[in-house]
Structures are given as structure tokens and as C-alpha cells.
A and B are shown apart, each in its own frame.
Chain A
Amino acid sequence: MLDTFVLLSAEADAGFLASLNQRLNLGDIIVTVVFFTILMVLLKKFAWGPLMGVMDQRAQLIATEIEQAEKSRQESAKLLEEQRALLKEARDNAQSIVEQAKKQGETQREELVTAARAEVNRMKESATLEIATEKEKAVAAVREEFVSLSILAASKVLGKEISEEDNRALIEETIVKAGEGR
């Protein structure tokens, strides 16, 4: 070991590199570095670069997707709130409509009932009136008939010509009296 050092220092200037070369695989060192560098450059160009690009792209995509999802979530929440409000409004509307209809129906019924009642009353009244006039008419007719029959009967019974004019007044009076007495 010491010998080599002495030897090395002795030939330090002249054959130092050659002597080093005898002991050291200088070529291997160069080849290692060169191969590794070439490999790194090639991989960066053909493998790592594109892969990193895709990974970055994916990260970006995910970020935008998350953002969009958040946005759409908010939007849908807003829409839901809107729909809920609309539904509530519609329900209120429906209820008021139903109530109104009910009220209207009630009033209409009442109106109809009163109208019908009035009509009935009117009809009843007119009927009574008619009945009364008819009865009057009938009574008058009967009375007339009765008078002439009475006169005929009296004239036949008495056989005597009595002045119709005189007696008629008398008979009518009797009949009226009889009618009242009845």
C-alpha cells in the first residue's frame, strides 16, 4: 500500500493518469454517468414528461370538477328552495280558491233557496187568489141558477103570474139571507 503511494508520487507527473488508469476503471465511470444521463433525458422526454402532464391535467380537471359540483349543488339548493316556495304558494292559492268556492256555493245556495221560497209564496198567493175568484164566480153562478130555479119553482107552485121584477128582489134578498145563515 505504502509502496503504491510512493510509486504514485514518484511517477506523479509523468504517468499519473496512466497509473491511475491501471487501477481505476475510468471507463466505467464515464459510461455510468453517460448512460444515466442519457436514460434520464430520454425518460423525461418519453415517459415522465407526458405522465406529469397528464397528472397535472387530472389535478386541474378534478379541481374544476369539484368547483362545478359545488356550483351545481348551490344551484340545485336554490332551485329546491324556489320550488318549495312555489309549491307553498300554489297550495295557499288552492286553499283560498277552495274556500272562496265554498263561500260562493253557500251564498248561491242561500240565494236559490230564498228565490225558491219567494216563488213558492208567490205561487201560493196567486193560487189562493185564483181559488177565491173561482169560488166567487161559482157562488155567483150557483146563486144565479138558484134564483131562476126558485122563480120557476115558485111560479109553478103558485100558478100565478107574479111580476118577476117584484119578486126577484124579494127572493134574492132571501137567498142572501139564507147564504149568510148557512
Chain B
Amino acid sequence: MNHENPHFDLFGIGFNPSNILMLFVTCLVVFLIAVASTRRLQMKPTGMQNFMEWVMDFVKGIIKNNMDWKTGGRFHVLGITLIMFVFVANMLGLPFAIVWDHELWWKSPTADPVITLTLASTVVALTHFYGIKQLGIGGYFKTYFQPIPFLAPLKIIEEFANTLTLGLRLYGNIFAGEILIGLLAALGASSVFGLAGAVVPALAWLGFSVFIGAIQAFIFVMLTMVYMAHKVSTDH
């Protein structure tokens, strides 16, 4: 269970090649799924196109729950990409983990706090960007004093808390899931009795992890749109 992470330095900046590999695989899978399903677009959708349109409508529903479509429409692409990316990333670590020379190479990229916090920070940075763009500098700063002025410090703390919880929630769920899968796999590999004992909980936990992965992807996008709505709309 005690894995090291692979590491190399380039231009004085540290990289984790495992993360890079897994991010690339995630991007590739998402891209292939998306392009394969929009290969032959038809007026009367069939098969994969139906699924993709369902995803689009699903994200559209999330956005519409939080803001009106006129301001929210521009986040549609971000939302679809994010939900597909996070979901695929969550799924990648489920079937197996690959350890090479005590270095963990194959895992969910979202089981790394650096990546989830980067995604969360990017999202929160985008909310600030669009908040300023939508309301102007004055309007943007005014939101900090909006309901009651003396709560402004709390609102500033909230921004950091949002970022942290958004990233760490995802990381915690996926990382914990992978730890437990790893433990069950180790138990199954230990002996015949271990295998007998581990089969049922491992299957159950795998199924549950798929569920968690989907739910976490949904929550991530949902919260992204909630934070975005807080920043871009004036009626909150």
C-alpha cells in the first residue's frame, strides 16, 4: 500500500509523470467518446448521439437550476466537458491500479489532491473572472458586502473554503474508494480464503464506486454552476 509517486524535474519544475499519463488517458477517452458519439449527427438521433444529447440536456438542466439560460448558456461547454472529464477520471482507477517499482502509475487522476484542487481553483478563478465580466469591478466587489456588510470577512473566507471543499471532496471520495479497492484486492490475492472473503465486498464496493464516481462528477459540476451563479447573477 505504500507507494511512491514517480517524479522528474524539467526546467526546475517538478512533474509527476503518472499524473500526466492519467490526465492524458482521461482526455483521450473523453475525446474519443465525444467524437465517436458525434461522428454521424442525425436529426433523428440514434445510439451514442442519444446518450450525448442526454448529457447535454442534463448539464443544461443543472445550469438552468442555478441561473437563467441567457447568462448560463456560455458555461454549457465547460459544464459538459467537466462532467465527462471528472466522471471518466473517477472511473479510470476502478478496474485496476498499476504499480511499477513501488511507484503508482495507473490510478484515477482525481485520486490526487493536486489535480482536484487545480480543477477546483480553475473553476473558482473562472467564477471570479465571469463575475467581474458580468457585473463590472464595482458590482463584483459589492457582492462581498451584499446582504449584510459585516459578513464580508466570512464571504472572503468562503471563497477559499469553497475552493478547498470542492477539490478535497472529490479527492477524498475517489482516493478513499481506491484505497478500499486496493485493500480488498490485496486481501483477495493473499490466499484462497482471502479470495473467497473478498469477492463479494469487492464487487459491491466496485459497484458503489461507480455510483460514487458518477455522483461526484455531478456534484462537482453542480457546485461549479452554483458558485458561478453566485458570482454572475445579481438576484442572489
Contact = CB atoms under 8 A, between A and B. Distances in A.
Given A22-B14, A40-B81, A47-B34, A31 B41 contact: no
Given A21-B13, A21-B14, A51-B41, A35 B27 contact: yes
Determine the interface band of chain A, counting residues with CB < 8 A from chain B.
20 to 34
B16 A28 contact: yes
A27 B49 contact: no
A115 interface: no
29 contacts: A21-B14, A25-B114, A28-B20, A28-B118, A29-B114, A31-B19, A31-B23, A32-B23, A32-B115, A32-B118, A33-B122, A36-B81, A38-B27, A42-B31, A43-B81, A44-B77, A47-B34, A47-B35, A47-B37, A48-B38, A51-B53, A51-B56, A52-B56, A53-B41, A54-B42, A55-B53, A55-B56, A57-B43, A61-B43
Given A29-B114, A44-B77, A47-B52, 20 more contacts: A21-B14, A25-B16, A26-B13, A27-B13, A27-B14, A27-B16, A28-B16, A30-B13, A32-B23, A36-B81, A39-B31, A39-B85, A40-B78, A43-B81, A47-B35, A48-B34, A48-B80, A51-B52, A52-B56, A54-B42
A85 to B, nearest CB: 40
Contacts of A43: 30-31, 34, 77, 80-81
Interface of A: 18, 21-22, 24-33, 35-36, 38-40, 42-44, 46-48, 50-55, 57-58, 61
Contact of A28 (B30, B38, B43, B112): B112
Interface residues of B, number: 37
Interface of B: 10, 12-16, 19-20, 23-24, 27, 30-31, 34-35, 37-38, 41-43, 49, 52-53, 56, 76-78, 80-81, 85, 109, 112, 114-115, 118-119, 122
Question: Chain A binding site: helix, strand, loop or mixed by DSSP?
Answer: helix
Contacts of B53: 51, 55
A32 B81 contact: no
Contacts of A27: 10, 13-16, 20
Contact of A39 (B15, B38, B81, B122): B81
Contacts of A48: 34, 38, 56, 76-77, 80-81
Contact of A50 (B23, B38, B109, B114): B38
A24 B114 contact: yes
Contacts of A51: 38, 41, 49, 52-53, 56
Nearest to B116: A32
Contacts of B24: 35
Contacts, number: 106
A25 B42 CA distance: 44
Nearest to B18: A28
B38 A47 contact: yes
B202 to A, nearest CB: 30
B52 to A, nearest CB: 6
Nearest to B27: A39
Contacts of A52: 56, 76
Nearest to B115: A32
Between A32, A42, A57, the greatest number of chain B beta carbons within 10 A of the residue's beta carbon is seen for A32
A29 B118 contact: yes
A30 B15 CA distance: 9
Contacts of B56: 48, 51-52, 55
A60 to B, nearest CB: 11
A33 to B, nearest CB: 6
Contacts of B115: 28, 32
B36 to A, nearest CB: 9
Contacts of B118: 28-29, 32-33
Contacts of B49: 51
